[in-house]
Structure 1
Amino acid sequence: VAVEVAARTVGAMWPVHSAVAVNPLSGLQDMAFEDAAEVAARVWGARSHLTEQQYAEALRAGRFTKADLLAAAEDFSLPADQIVDYLLHRADWEPTGSSIFVAEQLLAGTSDADIAAYLPRPRPAPRTLGEQCGAHNHVSGLANAWTSLANQGLPPAGGLWRAFRESVQDNGLRGLRDAVAQLPADPVPAVSVLMAGVVPPGEQVGYLSRLLGRDPGWAAHLTQRDPRLVGDLLAIRVTFDVFVAAARGHRDWVAPALADDRSWAVLQVAPVAELLPVATAADALRLAAELSEPARVGLWQRAWEQRYRNRLVDRVSARAAEPVSDPLPEVQAIFCIDVRSERFRRHLEAAGDVETFGFAGFFGLPVRHETAAGEISDQCPVLLHPSYLITETDGPAPNRMGLAAAMRGGVVTSTGQPASAFA
């Protein structure tokens, strides 16, 4: 179950020649945006919103208005004007000795249990064993060398995990090959065996999700090729994570060091006690929970989006009210301006009384991609000309990098190949 849940945190990534855009929350579409953003923040360290200071600057620049904030703040327990005033002051608020003292005194008579009940603390971001002992880059290098086999016509019929079990070498990790040979042939049970006694049950989903999130490109690529390969990938990554950490003497799970719950609660309550009318500790804790950072940036974002929607609706409504002088075509269709829809758009217009429009939202880099075999494709809308050329090579190019980097690339590549056992 842990493997299945972790696999959902990574969506499919199509090859460069057929990918147009990437949804950073792909795989989490059935969740509410706030919940998906929380998962992305914990697992990938992703940021789903601007900072409060950036939102406040956008407000001052006229991108949206205080009226938009008031409309978006109607669902809070306090009146909307108090919420908005708090939001505006909170964007630039910094703790002071006096504000911390006031919060400490306010909570002095409240038990730790009551504080936790009113103001639950967010769970810390998961960390892999390699991250806990500073060996995460080593783990990634070893694991990615094997994952790259899937891009070379592998895995065979038995799967990537089968090839790994049959061919992996010690890679400087004493006993690795023999230990892997004793693991289950099915990658999912193998993951369970590897985590047993090392990763606490309550941490396993977060741990596996973080292993995928450290190098999400490979997981996304394999998900597109065959979703079942994510289990193979996790088995390989857990193997190296456990063995590399053990080789450094790290065999026990280490929870992240956090300030005690009361100190954390004081920091959350301090701005509420200073900027809002609160009479009791319970009120302060309740409002601190209601006005947490995710709730605040969510309010800013809703206000800005509401202004955009209102402006768009106003423009469309104004045009809709204008008299129509020319007869309308039977069909009006709007197409994204990209290479996939262009031919369809042209044929549709040629088929009859059809009018089409082009629509473009945003685009990052207009690039031309050239494969190692010399195949060229432009990765940008048809109206743009590629400004950058990205080329593939069959292996490291020593003349383009330092000697040490070239040697590292060669070692990582060669140690991941099954034939390296005979080198």
Structure 2
Amino acid sequence: MNAIQAVKDLPASASAVMHIPAEALEKAIATSCVRIAPCWPLKHFVAVNPYFGIADKSFLSAAEWLGQSAGSPLTLAPTEYIEAIDSGRIDDAALTAALKAANIDERTDAVVARLTVMDAELNQAPSMAGLLDETRGWAIESFLVDRISHWAMAHFDEGQADWRPDLGTSIFAAWKTFASIDKTPNIAGLKGLRPLFNALPDDPQQAIAEMATDMGLSADQLEMVFDRLLMSINGWASYARYIAWGFELKGESNDSVMQVLAIRLAWDWALWKTATAEEQHQWAVALAEAQGRENGDWLALLHAVHNAYELSWQTDLVGKLNAQKDDGGDTRPAAQAVFCIDVRSEVYRRALEAAMPGMETIGFAGFFGAAIEYVPLGAEDGALQCPVLLNPGFEIAESSGDADKNEKIIGAKRISEATRAAWYALKMGAISSFAFVETLGLGFASKLITDTLGVTRPGPNPAERGVGKDMADKLAPTLEHYHNATGIPVEERVDLAAGMLGGMTLTSNLARLVVLTGHGSTSVNNPHASGLDCGACGGHAGDSNARVSVMLLNDPEVRAGLAERGQIIPDDTIFVAGLHDTTTDEVVLFDTCGIPDSHRDELKQLKQALKTAGETTRRERAAKLNLRSDVSITEEVLARSNDWSQVRPEWGLAGCAAFIAAPRKRTQNINLDGRAFLHNYDAEADSEKAILELIMTAPMVVASWINLQYYASTVDNVTFGCGDKTLHNVVGKVGVLEGHGGDLRTGLSWQSLHDGEKLIHEPMRLNVIIEAPIDAMNKIIAGHDHVRHLLDHGWVHLFHMDGDGKVAKKYAGGGEWAEF
């Protein structure tokens, strides 16, 4: 007799009490909690790989896990692949190769026939709430998610609400207090839950142990049940994981996700306690069945077809790269411009190189190696301007350079902040809000009109300065220690500058003008605006990083220190900071008044080239934005950046599919359609392969996070995306709900992926192409588990480019490479 039959044969009145070893419980909790990916709040919303916690599983086994825990697919629907085959997007050669690799011996017509009738039903594990939905015929699980969310949006509020509950207790204990007085379940017909919640221990791990034992869970069922419950509130669990992430970066531990698990388990336990014996028995049988259930061969076929979908695009990309001719020379560039590796930069870089003959563009992560916390003047804390994988190394203060001016600006800021606070209190107050609308409502008519027509237009992150433009123009970062900000100690500046130049491949043949161009995005009425800013700068615009880096590299003492090491910056090389607005494709340069007269003509030429490049880039992006042809494209792009009703101010990183680390000459003059992260890398100059290791462990990983966030939001927007933008409601400045209830939504909106008629983002795993020795890459893969998991388990495709710029080999896992 098997285990499933044994459970079925138990009488409905029987309740098996299982002893759960403490070690098994702790392991199951830890494993399930770490499978949740973090979700950053709106103020610095950055792309996160939602599959981060299951990267140690192969792509196919992860699909099995997602089906069981979340009822979530890891591919598009079968009908999407049928359309791709019919249209030629999946070509016959790629499909034949993918089927052969999966040991599936079928012809194209047979595959299409199977896809047409495929029953792609995912075998999701049961929850007690979900089972009661079926037996009682109403949405109990949706109801309890609403109740948890209602509590969580108040508990985790970051300043939106005027009043917050007492946060002196733990997450679980605070929820218990709320749940024990919440009468909503009673009104909804769920009687007797409040006393049960109140009787639970305050310690979440003890509570989990008691509830799991009471429900008769066996040690080998724990992970399945915990995974299922956490994924049912993935949004708030992900936010709890973000809280834990901050502690982990400091080498500390945090149990926020476990506490959220305890809350969700408490609901299923209370429902189980108040269920009938028959319902309890049905749940035990459903759990046993879920443990032994398999998806069958349809999942393997679907994944083989998806591999063909990716292989078709890979073949096209590799063909373009292999057809490239090496026209690079050693003449001194007319100018150099370093851009973030962001895929949006690829379009602008091509346009700039065409607008200014002799211009060399370079790709590097947009924080330029300056991992800083940028503290605005008068503030106590600042923004973390670095990738979320890093801790900032320095605190950089903002200053006008004059103490009296600083005090005046701080005073103006305080008045502005106090005025805004009073205005907000008047507008949002329980009683004053009515008078506000009646008395002052019409005063907003002019603003509505100007916003709608795009008459006024902010720049990227306009609120970060907190002062008017005139005052903001007086402010700049300082490298010195200022108030509580550390600055960059003199003895560390040369090391930092040397690392920057090496990473940006700017160790020789520097131009007279070198522009470090950060990027940000302009949009209004957009809760996820920071998600369009620079991910390498922690979800902020990169102007402060560019300005700090330029100040460092223009410093005569830093240059003297570099020269002592044999790293010469020519005396006539001037570094300039800039900011690329990815919505409008305008580039503004900072602090140009300090550029000497000897470089004025070149500066003028550069500014004209930047303007021309912006116009060219806007024309190229216009087709995907479906811009009207009867108006100026430039005017329409500028207007949409200030249109409060615009759901697609820009496409962001939609379409991202490749990461190429190689000299620029390998990709120059190739139209990559804004789909490739381009990182300059010179293997010959990297004798110790330290830069290669940095690229493979940081920018490549971050690019995969971005790529997989877009992937997951496309194939399953319900679980990993944030739905329809027009229905969003901001909660606690933490995130959004879609409508008035439900779980906290993570990921990207449907409007960021689809234009209303077709997908703009094709869900494909990142294709990484690196010009570097295979043995060096193998050594790095073997030495870093998180990189090895991504590559060995098929979350990222890695290709080798040889010293002649040809791509012929693909990483096959386990340190092995195959011909491509």
Match of 1:300 among 305, 309, 312: 305
Cα 1:68/1:45, change in 2 over 3 Å:
same
Equivalent position to 1:210, from 228, 245, 261: 228
Report if the CA contact (8 A) 1:133-1:245 is conserved.
Answer: no
Partner residue of 2:125?
126
Residue 239 of structure 1: which of 247, 258, 266 is its match?
A: 266
Query: Alignment partner of 2:341: what SS?
Result: strand
Structure 1 distance, partners of 2:531, 2:49, is 17
Q: Deviations over 1:98-141 (max 9, x none)?
A: xxxxxxxxxxxxxxxxxxxxxxxx99411211111122123223
Contact conserved, 1:334 with 1:358, CA < 8 A, in 2?
yes
Cα distance in 2, alignment partners of residues 91 and 69 from structure 1: 13
Aligned-partner Cα distance in 1 for 2:199–2:731: 37
Residue deviations 1:184-239 (CA, integer Å, cap 9, x gap): 44312211211224253243322222211112110000110125111111112211
CA–CA distance in 2 between the matches of 1:76 and 1:251?
41
Answer yes or no: is the 8 Å Cα contact 1:367–1:380 preserved in 2.
Answer: no
Q: Which residue of 2 aligns with 1:280?
A: none
**Contact 2:98/2:304 (8 A) holds in 1:** yes
Which residues of structure 2 form unaligned runs of 5+? 1-26, 134-139, 158-163, 245-253, 346-363, 371-499, 534-580, 584-640, 648-725, 734-738, 743-820
1:244-301 CA-to-partner distances (Å, cap 9, x unmatched) read 3444545442534999xxxx99xx9xxxxxxxxxxxxxxxxxxxx6xx1111111111
Q: Describe how 1:234-313 pairs up with structure 2 within 5 A.
A: 234-249=261-276, 250-252=279-281, 253-256=283-286, 292-313=297-318
Shift of residue 335, structure 1, vs aligned partner: 1.3
Deviation sequence 1:39-87 (CA, Å, 0-9, x none) = 2222122121123332232122111311112222333556x5x465642
Taking a change above 3 Å as real, the CA distance of residues 303 and 254 of structure 1, as seen in their structure-2 partners, is same
Shift of 1:12: 0.4
The letter of the residue matching 1:127 is P
Counterpart contact for 1:336–1:358, Cα < 8 Å: no
| 8 A Cα contact 1:335 1:358, kept in partner | no
Secondary structure, aligned partner of 1:161:
helix
Output the CA distance in 2 between the equivalents of 1:391 and 1:355.
40
**TM-score, length basis structure 1:** 0.64
Distance 1:39-1:76 versus aligned 2 partners, 3 A rule:
closer
Q: Match of 2:321?
A: 316
- Going from structure 1 to structure 2, the CA distance change for 1:21 and 1:338 (only over 3 Å counts) comes to farther
Q: CA deviation at 1:324?
A: 3.0
Q: Contact 1:129/1:241 (CA < 8 Å) preserved in 2?
A: yes
2: CA distance, partners of 1:223 / 1:205: 17
* Other-structure match for 1:148: 153
- Of 83, 93, 105, the match for 1:57: 83
Equivalent pair of 2:39/2:242 in contact (CA under 8 Å): yes
| Letter paired with 2:101 | D
Q: Which residue of the other structure, out of 190, 199, 204, is the alignment partner of 1:187?
A: 204
Distance 1:367 1:19 in 2: 15
8 Å contact from structure 2 (residues 29, 258) kept in 1 = yes
Alignment of 1:95-114 (within 5 A): none
1:45 aligned partner? 71
Q: What CA distance in whole angstroms lies between the structure 2 residues aligned with 1:303 and 1:166?
A: 53
1:91 aligns with 2:115: yes
Helix, strand or coil at the partner of 1:324: coil
Q: Does the CA contact (< 8 Å) of 2:118 and 2:298 recur in 1?
A: no
Amino acid at match of 1:209: D
Contact 1:8 1:27 in 2 (8 A): yes
Distance 1:94 1:31 in 2: 25
State the AA in 2 paired with 1:317.
Answer: N
Alignment of 1:380 onto 2:407: no
The answer to whether the 8 A contact 1:56-1:88 is kept is: yes
Cα distance between partner residues in 2 of 1:257 and 1:236: 20
Match of 2:241 in 1: 223
For the 8 Å contact 1:128–1:210, the answer to whether it is kept is yes
Equivalent residue, structure 1, for 2:361: none
- Alpha-carbon distance between aligned partners in 1 of 2:237 and 2:206, rounded to the nearest angstrom: 19
CA contact (8 A) 1:164 1:236 kept: yes
Deviations 1:156-188 (A, max 9, x none): 465212334456425447665654455444312
* Structure 1, unpaired ranges of 5+: 96-121, 269-288, 371-375, 396-400, 409-423
Decide whether aligned partners of structure 1 residues 91 and 188 sit closer, same or farther in structure 2, where only a CA change above 3 A counts: same
Distance 1:316 1:300 in 2: 25
Quote how far apart the aligned CAs of 1:327 are.
Answer: 3.9
Distance 1:47 1:160, change over 3 A: same
Give the match's secondary structure for 2:97.
helix
2:42 touches 2:530 (CA, 8 Å); kept in 1? no
Q: Is the 8 A contact 2:36 2:234 kept in 1?
A: yes
Do the aligned partners of residues 94 and 165 (structure 1) sit closer, same or farther apart at CA in structure 2, a change above 3 Å counting?
A: closer
- The structure-2 alpha-carbon separation of the partners of 1:43 and 1:154, relative to structure 1 and needing over 3 Å to count, comes to farther
Encode CA deviations 1:341-366: one digit per residue, 9 max, x unaligned: 656499989x855688999xxx9x97
Q: Comparing both structures, which one devotes a greater share of its residues to strand?
A: 2
What is the rounded CA distance, in whole Å, between the counterparts of 2:225 and 2:30 in structure 1?
13
Residue 33 of structure 2 is matched in structure 1 by 7
User: CA contact under 8 A between 2:37 and 2:48: conserved in structure 1?
Assistant: no
2-structure distance, mates of 1:215, 1:139: 10
Identity %: 19
| Distance in 1 separating the partners of 2:108 and 2:166 | 56
Check whether the contact 2:36–2:52 (CA below 8 A) recurs between aligned residues.
yes
**Structure 1 residue 241 displacement after superposition:** 2.2
Larger RCO, structures 1/2 (Cα 8 Å, 6+ apart) = 1
The one-character-per-residue Cα deviations of 1:358-412 (angstroms, maximum 9, x if unpaired) are 99xxx9x977446xxxxx95542542237249664779xxxxx9xxx89x9xxxx
Change (3 A) 1:224 1:306: same
SS of the residue corresponding to residue 218 of structure 1 reads helix
TM-score, normalising length from structure 2?
A: 0.35
Q: Which residue of 1 aligns with 2:215?
A: 198
Cα distance in 1 for partners of 2:344, 2:167 equals: 35
Q: Over the residues paired in the alignment, what is the CA RMSD in angstroms?
A: 4.6
CA contact (8 A) 1:139 1:244 kept: no
1:42/1:126 contact within 8 Å kept: yes
The match for 1:336 is 342
Q: Which stretch of the first structure deviates more once superposed, 156-165 or 15-24?
A: 156-165
For the residue of structure 1 that corresponds to 2:318, the secondary structure is helix
